[in-house]
Structure formats: C-alpha cells, structure tokens
Structure 1
C-alpha cells in the first residue's frame, strides 16, 4: 500500500463522505427514475402516436440498449481519462437527451433520444460506485457502496408516484414527467463541480503530485472540523501496476488469476439482471392472465417499489457484517424462494407478501453486487472491469423478456420460474466459489493478494 492509499485508509467516516454519498446517490436516484418512468409513459404514447406492439417493444428496449453501451464506454474511459470527467459528462448527456425526448413528436425520434439518455444513465451507474469507493476506508466501504446503490430505490418510488399522479392528469403529462426527471440534474451537476478526482486513480496514472494535492485538500476539511487524524500506516503490498492503453486494460482483465474474478463478475451480473427483469417485467402480466387483478392496483405497485428501500439498505448493512459474497448469495437464494412463493400464490394477500419479499431480496442483491464489483478489480482497470460487467448484465435485461415470452406459452409458470430460479442459484454458487473475500481489506490488498 502506498502513502496515498494509507492516507485514505486512515480517514474516519465524516461529513466529507456523507457529501459523497448524497452526490453519488442522487445520481443513482435519477438513473432509476429515468428507467422506471418509461413503463408509465409507453401506454400513453401507444394511444397518442397509434403505435403497434412491435413499436412499443422497440421503445421499451431503448433505455437498456443505451445502458449497455453507456456502461461499456464509461468503464473504459474511466480508467483512461479519469472517473470524475466521465461521471460529469454522463450526467450532462442524460439531462440533455431526456429534455429532447420530452419535446419530440415521433416515435423514431423518441427512440433515438431514449437510447442517448440510456447511455448517460448507464455510464453514470457504472462509474459512480467504483469512483466513490476509492475515497472510503476499508472498514466502511461495503456499507457505503451498498447504501449508495440504495438510492436506486428512491428513484423507483418517485417514478411510480409521477407515473400515477402526473402522467394521466395532463394532456402532456408524459412530457412534464420527463422534464421533472431531467431539470434537477442541472442542480446536481452544479453541486458535483467541487468533486475531486480519485487520488488512487491519479496515482495509478503516475500523477502522484496531483493525488497528494487532492488528499491535502480533503485532510484540510478534517482539520477545520477539529478532527485529528492518526498517522498513516503504510503496509507492504506489491503495486498493482500503472494504467495502460484501452487494449492493455481489456487484456489485463483476462490475464492470470484476474480472469477468474472477471468471469465471476460477468456471471454474477448476468444472473441477477436476467432474473430481475424476468420477474419484474413479466410477473404482473402473467399473474393477470391467471385472473389475479391485484397486480394492476396502485397499492400493489407502490408496495413492490417501497420494498426496495429495506432491501438495499439491509444488504448494505450485511455487506460489512457477513461480507459481500455471503450477502449476494443469500439474497439471490431468498429472491428465488420468494419468486416461487409468488408463482404459487392463491390469494391477493399472498401475492402482495411474496411480491414484497421478491422486491426486497432481488434489489438487496444489487447492493451487494455494486459494492463487490467496485472492489475486485485493481485500480488501473477498476472502471473497465466494472463497466464491462455491468454492460454484460444489461444483455440479460434485453434477453430475459424475450426468453420468458417463449417459455410461458410452452412451459407455463413452471418453465419460467424453473429457468430464472436456476439462473439465480447458479449466480449464487459462482460468487461463493469463484469470488474472493473483500471485507476488511484495502483495495490494494485485494488486488495484490487475489487478483494481481
């Protein structure tokens, strides 16, 4: 561990970190609002623009297509040009594209704008966790990053409220909602302007003087608050190397023991994203087909969205108590059990209970996944690895609704839940067997001991 890392590791959790949590978390909240609000807008556009089912399906996929490319580009650029620059650019791109999408009058233009907006949100969500985790000491990092992801839940709840109360209340309610989700981002951009670049990344690019200057400013904040910092403890840890070119960074992901970690993150992201979108895109419709009209109710939807909040924040707590691997595996398995309970529910009360538990555990899994992904790659390739894993996960979001659409007519509930639950169990086993422990270890120790 270098002096730069040692200085970060000695920082107690303080107001500085709370500001990081709020600035990053609000970004995740707007990302979630952007993704979730589309479900409430599409039925209005279908009528207003006389769209076919195919056209609606294409529009529904627009955000996820943008997510895929946004996450991939953000990850690669984050290691090459810096985390902060990518995060700020992604937020500005999303804001501009979302406002444009509120002004268009044809579905092809809306489709294009939503892809660009999705690129912004995909880039934002891929870069925030690995960027901000580099500022946090090992003893807080898992809970901090899990809580950071927890802001997604607030975005989904806000989208549901906007979708139910604003969209149907005005002739152009869908345009109003899109503007509401975009305009506050300008304020967030202004607030984030003071965010420093990651000292760990600066050091990995050979810019030690700049890294030291950033830490000097951070430590000055602690001094003004009267907080005395202990002397830094430099541990003997082999360096993870310096940042390379685009091709060199991709090659490093599959070199030596790092390959096992990289493939583990791919399977982990595919498993949770495939299963998540299988359940939440299709379950309401499948239950309605079976005569369970409760899934159309506002109360059911709000309960499902609100259950995300304890899901994310309970997992953030367990990230530090039992470790990231155990948290992810446990929540994946309990999510599968909840899905089976929903599949065999016979009453409205059982549907609501199983749906709440499913939402709690599936979203809680993401709190572990985001925290874990931000830790298991060395600093020079951290955002490349995290962005690629997130992008591969988005493939699961695109493929799962199509596969479920095939499975249900041919194999019914048993086929749908059999496949998705099996995928979840595969993901849990992969994380346990192929992953590495990260709780209580510095980012440099993880890289040197397991993934170098």
Structure 2
C-alpha cells in the first residue's frame, strides 16, 4: 500500500489543482503556439526564399525532428532525475533557440534552429501530462488531463491571431512573431516558486521525506480553503515494489518492450503515430492549402482562426466524455468523427464546404488529442510513466516529421482527395490499435491500473503480485 498515493487520492479538486492545471496548461499552450505559428510563417518565407513545395515541407517538418529527440529524452530523464527539472529546463532551451531563430537570413539555418528549438519544446510537452497526472485523484483524472490538453487549443488560436495581426504588418512580420513566441520564458519565475516535484515519483525513488513534505504542503493548501479532508483510505499498489528496478537511462526503455507491457507500448506508439501524423498534416498545411485554392493570405489566416477556434469545444467535450464514457470509447469515437471529416474534405468542391469540413476536422482531431493525453500516462506504472509517455510522443513525432513533407508531395498530384484520403486511412489504423490493444483505466487509481495490468508494477512480471486493499 502506498500512503502517499492514498493521501493524494482523497484530495478533492481544489485551488491547488486548478493552479496546477493552469501551470501545465500554459506549457501545452506554448507548445501549440510554436507548432502552429510555422503554418503562418511558411507562406511568407516560401515566397521570400523562393522555396519549392517540398522545401517548404522540410521547413514544416524541421521542428518535429527536434520534438522527437526532446520527447524521447524527456521521458527517460524524467523517470531518472525527476519531472520538474526537465519541464523547466526544456522551456528555457526552447525560448532561447526560438528567439535566435527570429534573426536568420536563409532557410537552411531557419530549419536547423527550428529543429534545435523543437528539442526543448518536445521535451517540455512530453513531460507535462505524466508529471501532473500523478497529483490527481482518479475521480477526476481523465477530465483534468483532458482539460490540461485543452490548452493546446488556446495556443493554436493565439498563433492564428499572431499570424493574422502581426505577420502581415511588414515583410519582417514573421520575425516579430518568433520574438513573441519566445517570451513564455518569463513563466519560469512562477514555476520555480510554485511547482512541486511529483510525490509519487519521489516515493518510488526512496525519497520518502521529500514526498511527505510535498503532500503535507498540498494538504495544508487544501485545508486553508476551508475543506475538511476525509480519512485516508488505503489504495492498491506498493511503491516499494519498484525499488528493485535500476532506473538506468536506457534500462527503462528496454522494460517497455517486455511482456506484458509490450502490448501497451505498441498500442500507445500506434495511437500517437496516427494522431500526430494527421494533426500536423492538417494544421501545418491548412493556411497554405487554402491559399493554393485561391484565397488571399489575409482571408486564409482569418479562416484559420475559425478552424483553430473549433479546437476548444473539441478538447473540452472530449475531457467531459473521458469521464462519462471512458478513455478508450472517447478516443475511438472522436477518431471516427475525424474520419468522417477527412472523407468530407477529400470530396469538398467549394470553398464553403472546405471551410466547414476543416472546422469539423479541427473539432474531432482535438477531441482525439484530449483523450490521448488523458489515456497515455495512465497505462504506464509510475517508475516508467515519463518514459512511456515520452517514447510514445517521440514515436508520434515521426508522423509529424513525415506528414508536412508528404502533403507537400501529394497535394500537387492528387489534391485534397489524396491528402485527406491518406489521413482517413491512418486514423482508422490508430483506432483499431486502441480497440484491440488498449486497456481500461476509468475509475481506477494509477496504482490499481498498474496492479491489474502488470502485477507487481514492473514490466517483467515478477511474482509479488499486489493485493487489493479495501
């Protein structure tokens, strides 16, 4: 039995959790601004540097090369050295590199710096969900994480507003936009003062005094709001069970592919690959594709704001259904809706039809994203949670790297039908992986999920299976 987990599970949603939601949500918002702003910069620098469609696709993909590296190593480092330090240094690295990117004069340097900055943002984005989910009770964990991911939508809308109001100001407007995107470094002052290390992670690393101090501080913050805490109820799980694992840098990576965890790892990698491929094929290229259909840059960017606004109900409706229907059902349902949107886009003939289908695609794809971020951290045990999330996110970035280049190649040949026909097929592949390989997590503590799926909380199935404490 884990006393730290039991004390965290009894906490009601409070001001502390809301503050945690905002801190982590801002991190996701910054990642989304960075991911989306390139969609508004590409049409400008394509003309400025006389780029081909394929070269433009390389620029669109460059960030995600860095995202892949950052996400992979964030997970490995987060399980080895802690979540908090990775989250803070990753944001610092991203902001510094993005600021430098505003002053380049050729597309090769631009692509290189985008990739380097992407390492920081990929690391920061991959660590947030497995970090913050460990503070939250199972009673609202799905809604919390879905709402946390919902901040991505605010980032895309913010990027669209920057694209609409700042980039057209002058031929150098794209540089001003990148300077604005680098400003989030100032939130580190807040994070450094207010963000605790995960007490669950501290406990499994044997740092019991620190874990106790963090939980005691959280309890005091909750009680200061006038809440009387319920008695501690034992929960399933034994933090000591993971002490036998070395936690070595690549040892954790090997554990992910040992039965019975290999099935979960395969599912999460397939899910992230399909969702990330389709999200970035759509969101990176849609302003440019609208322009290629004859829209002016101003009209394309204004329509993109509407498309990105549709993300908000997509994320938050999915956060609601993650608790009501369960994570698996929510993910598959929104994937089915995205497939419908993809078929609609593939056959859209008029500008109005393209815009309406794009709004529906934006809604559905981000419903999938919310479910994905709620689900993935839950299916891995604490000592591998950041590694599991980070590697899934990193593998998904292969889709983000390939999709902008593939769209740049496919669109001139097959148009919207080719681009969104491919999108629909890949979404179907991801949905099938979740249906057949996914596990049920709703209404269970993180420790209960680990015990039911992996026995002793490890990947290698040792004999000390945990008993449920009631």
Question: Does the alignment reach a TM-score above 0.5?
Answer: yes
3-state DSSP class of the match of 1:246? coil
Query: Structure 1, residues 64-123: CA drift from partner, whole Å, max 9, x if none?
Result: 111111101111100000000000000111111111112333434333322221111111
Q: Which consecutive unaligned segments of at least 5 residues does structure 2 have?
A: 458-470
| Unaligned ranges ≥5, structure 1 | none
Q: Deviations over 1:401-439 (max 9, x none)?
A: 344455556666555444321221221121122111111
Match of 1:125 in 2: 125
Cα deviation per residue 1:19-71 (whole Å; 9 max; x = unaligned)?
A: 00111111111111111112222333344455555554433222111111110
User: Deviation string for 1:151-198 (max 9, x for gaps)?
Assistant: 111111111111121112134322221111212x23311111121100
1:45-444 equivalent positions in 2, closer than 5 A: 45-49=45-49, 51=51, 55-183=55-183, 185-193=184-192, 194-239=194-239, 241-242=242-243, 244-281=247-284, 297-405=300-408, 407=410, 414-444=417-447
CA distance in 2, matches of 1:283, 1:97: 26
SS at match of 1:104: coil
CA contact (8 A) 2:256 2:388 kept: yes
TM-score for both structures, normalised by structure 2? 0.90
Q: Per-residue displacement from partner, 1:236-260 (whole Å, max 9, x unpaired)?
A: 4355513511222112111121110
Q: How many residues align?
A: 451
**When the two structures are superposed, what TM-score results if normalisation uses the length of structure 1?**
0.93
Tell whether the 8 Å contact from 1:284 to 1:295 is kept in structure 2 after alignment.
Answer: no
1:294–1:300 CA contact under 8 A, matched in 2? no
Deviating more after overlay: 41-50 vs 287-296: 287-296
Give the aligned CA root-mean-square deviation in angstroms: 2.3
CA distance in structure 2 between the aligned counterparts of 1:125 and 1:187, rounded to whole angstroms:
17
**Aligned with 1:374: secondary structure?**
helix
CA contact (8 A) 1:238 1:448 kept: no
